[in-house]
């Protein structure tokens, strides 16, 4: 017995094409692209926030637990900083890590103006951003935010993401965040389209994808949350051929997950080896990698008037880059199946290079991260993209990296790469980014700019 029902095509037509049209539109209906950086500066002035480093003792409602030494909020909400013990056959280490099991929403509202999708972006202050205010998704809310654990204001536009009608959702996927600093964190990345008029509140503006891509050429303008949401959006299938089929790519990835035997368990922060706790920082005795510090935020117009919080500060600026080659005319980037202790499952696809070089300065040259010098020594004409971006300013203080896309050759990056590396096309990376935990957050930043960066430089 067959029931009559309104079936729909399994493949929803047109979303990728409409996103591509928006990406090709560099003039928006509402805002002039070149004015956005100044607008962000003005927003920063009007927020008037001051971020100060403070000793842990000045944290308000945050404290080290007497038993475990874990750093947490009195309410039991937000996040904790605990210890992590990672065991691999070839290495073992302990480190502090942010534990925040709840899933936040990173949501961008989209709407057509003059037949072109525009995206409602927010000028948002976050204490860890080097310039405080960056272009952010429409909504960027932890569950504590939107259940108002800290008694703050309403999250504007949140209702569009809590219960959107299905046909409005352009993308909706859980994506991982930094596995070196977060324990198994994931956020919900959404783009939701509205047809009705929505009010444009102060500190919001509509931009086309083309405008956002132009702004992604500038340092520290588009924040991490906006980058990962944009990377999760479906792209128009570009290439039908690649160095390996999609099935072979999955099989290789499965092999990488299997090959790495990673055991990661939380442990008391008090007991981690190789780290020391001072008045101002929890840091490695050899001062590599990162520190846990504390900041106070004063006079901010954010959800609450002011607050203090712990935050993670990397020791220095990082380098994050994809090696890029054309094979038989088809663009490929060299993905790295990278272990990070906080990943929910062993490895994810990372850029070719992802490191803070100074962490390796004390080590013999042979222990330098592979392909790092290919990135650092690239002649200018081979650098297709080079921009400084910072990571999520709510949890990371001045966590800047130079993001690079560098054209390479057979001598530096062979067609048959070393174990753990695999050439993938932008289309394959986009296909995998539609699912959770394939593409790490740094690779997603580069994925967001990949098509635009390659198009500009490879067009005749």
Binding region for a copy of itself (CB under 8 A):
1-12, 15, 101-103, 105, 143, 166-167, 169, 171-174, 186, 188, 234, 239-248, 250-252, 254-255, 257-258, 261, 263, 265-266, 325-330, 344-345, 407, 409-410, 415, 425, 427-428, 434-436
Instruction: Count the Cβ atoms, other than its own, within 10 Å of residue 200.
Output: 11
Beta carbons of 216 and 387 less than 8 angstroms apart: yes
Compute the residue count for the chain. Answer: 460
Residue 320 Cβ vs a copy of itself, minimum distance, rounded to whole Å? 24
Closer residue to a copy of itself, CB minimum distance, 188 or 302: 188
SS3 (DSSP) at 18: helix
Q: Which H or E run contains 291?
A: strand 290-298
Contact 94, 85 (CB under 8 A): yes
Beta bridge mates, 277: 282
Of 317 and 382, which CB lies nearer to a copy of itself in the complex structure? Answer: 382
**CB 228, min distance to a copy of itself, A:** 14
Please say which residue, 294 or 432, places its beta carbon nearer to a copy of itself.
432
Smallest gap from Cβ 247 to a copy of itself, in A, equals: 5
Contact of 39 with 123, CB cutoff 8 Å: yes
CA separation, residue 405 to residues 217, 319, 378, 423, 457 (Å): 12, 11, 10, 14, 11
Cα distance between residue 120 and residue 107, in whole Å? 10
Nearer to a copy of itself, 41 or 174 (CB): 174
Tell me whether residue 398 or residue 436 sits nearer to a copy of itself (CB atom). 436
- Residue 443 neighbours by CB distance under 10 Å: 29
In this complex, which beta carbon is closest to a copy of itself, that of residue 123 or of residue 242?
A: 242
Ramachandran angles phi, psi of 224, nearest 5°: -60, -40
CB 288, min distance to a copy of itself, A: 27
Nearest distance, CB of residue 176 and a copy of itself, angstroms = 10
Helix axes 224-231, 441-458, angle to 10 degrees: 70
Q: Least CB distance from residue 108 to a copy of itself, whole Å? A: 14
Question: Given the complex with a copy of itself, which of 54 and 250 has the nearer CB atom?
Answer: 250
Measured from the CB of residue 140, what is the shortest distance to a copy of itself in angstroms?
Answer: 15
CB of 70 to a copy of itself, least distance (A): 13
Are the beta carbons of 274 and 298 closer than 8 angstroms? no
Q: Which two tokens stand for residue 420?
A: 């753990």
The b/e string for 262-281 (b: 16+ C-beta within 10 A; e otherwise) is bebebbebeebeebebeebb
We find the least distance from the C-beta atom of residue 293 to a copy of itself, in angstroms, to be 27
Q: Residue 456: what are its φ and ψ, rounded to 5°?
A: -60, -35
Give the separation between CA 339 and CA 400, rounded to whole angstroms.
Answer: 21
Shortest distance in whole angstroms from residue 105 CB to a copy of itself: 8
Cβ pair 433, 426 in contact under 8 A: no
Q: How far is the CB of 321 from a copy of itself (least distance, A)?
A: 18
Q: How many CA atoms lie within 13 A of 15 on its CB side?
A: 16
Residue whose CB is less far from a copy of itself, 201 or 265: 265
**CA-based radius of gyration for the chain:** 22
C-beta closer to a copy of itself: residue 113 or 327: 327
Based on CB atoms, which residue is closest to a copy of itself, 173 or 319? 173
Pick 105 or 209: Cβ nearer a copy of itself: 105
d(CA 381, CA 76): 52
Question: Residue 242, CB half-sphere, CA atoms under 13 Å: how many?
Answer: 21
Contacts of 345 (CB under 8 A, 6+ apart): 257, 437
- Looking at the Cβ atoms of 237 and 278, the one nearer to a copy of itself is 237
**131: DSSP letter:** T
Q: Supply 270's token pair.
A: 């008090």
């Amino acid at each position: 017995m067959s029931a009559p029902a309104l079936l729909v095509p399994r493949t929803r037509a047109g979303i990728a094409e409409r996103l591509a049209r928006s990406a090709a539109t560099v003039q928006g209906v509402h805002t002039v692209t070149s004015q956005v950086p100044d607008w962000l500066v003005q927003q920063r002035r009007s927020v008037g926030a001051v971020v100060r480093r403070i000793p842990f003792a000045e944290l308000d409602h945050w404290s080290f637990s007497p038993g475990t030494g874990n750093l947490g909020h009195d309410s039991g909400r937000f996040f904790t900083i605990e210890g992590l013990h990672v065991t691999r056959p070839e290495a073992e280490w302990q480190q502090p890590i942010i534990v925040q099991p709840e899933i936040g929403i990173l949501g961008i509202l989209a709407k057509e103006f003059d037949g072109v999708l525009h995206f409602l972006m927010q000028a948002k202050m976050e204490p860890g951003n080097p310039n405080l205010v960056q272009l952010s998704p429409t909504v960027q809310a932890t569950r504590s935010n939107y259940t108002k654990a800290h008694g703050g204001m309403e999250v504007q536009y949140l209702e569009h993401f809590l219960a959107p009608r299905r046909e409005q959702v352009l993308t909706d996927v859980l994506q991982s965040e930094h596995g070196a600093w977060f324990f198994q964190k994931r956020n919900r990345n959404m783009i939701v389209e509205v047809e009705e008029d929505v009010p444009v509140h102060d500190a919001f503006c509509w931009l086309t994808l083309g405008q956002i891509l132009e702004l992604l050429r500038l340092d520290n303008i588009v924040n991490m949350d906006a980058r990962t949401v944009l990377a999760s959006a479906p792209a128009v299938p570009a290439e039908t051929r690649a160095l390996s089929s999609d099935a072979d790519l999955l099989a290789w990835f499965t092999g990488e997950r299997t090959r790495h035997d990673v055991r990661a368990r939380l442990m008391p922060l008090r007991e981690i080896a190789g780290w020391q706790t001072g008045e101002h920082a929890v840091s490695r005795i050899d001062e590599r990698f990162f520190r846990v510090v504390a900041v106070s935020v004063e006079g901010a117009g954010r959800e609450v008037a002011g607050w203090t919080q712990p935050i993670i500060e990397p020791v220095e600026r990082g380098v994050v880059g994809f090696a890029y080659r054309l094979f038989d005319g088809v663009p490929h980037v060299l993905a790295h199946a990278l272990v990070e202790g906080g990943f929910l499952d062993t490895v994810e696809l990372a850029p070719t290079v992802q490191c803070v070089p100074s962490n390796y300065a004390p080590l013999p040259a042979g222990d330098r991260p592979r392909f790092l010098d290919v990135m650092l020594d690239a002649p200018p004409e081979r650098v297709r993209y080079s921009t400084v971006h910072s990571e999520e300013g709510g949890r990371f203080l001045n966590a800047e990296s130079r993001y690079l896309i560098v054209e390479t050759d057979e001598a530096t990056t062979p067609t048959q790469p070393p174990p753990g590396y695999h050439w993938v096309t932008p289309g394959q990376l986009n296909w995998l980014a539609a699912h959770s935990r394939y593409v790490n957050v740094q690779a997603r930043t580069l994925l967001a700019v990949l098509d635009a960066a390659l198009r500009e430089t490879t067009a005749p």
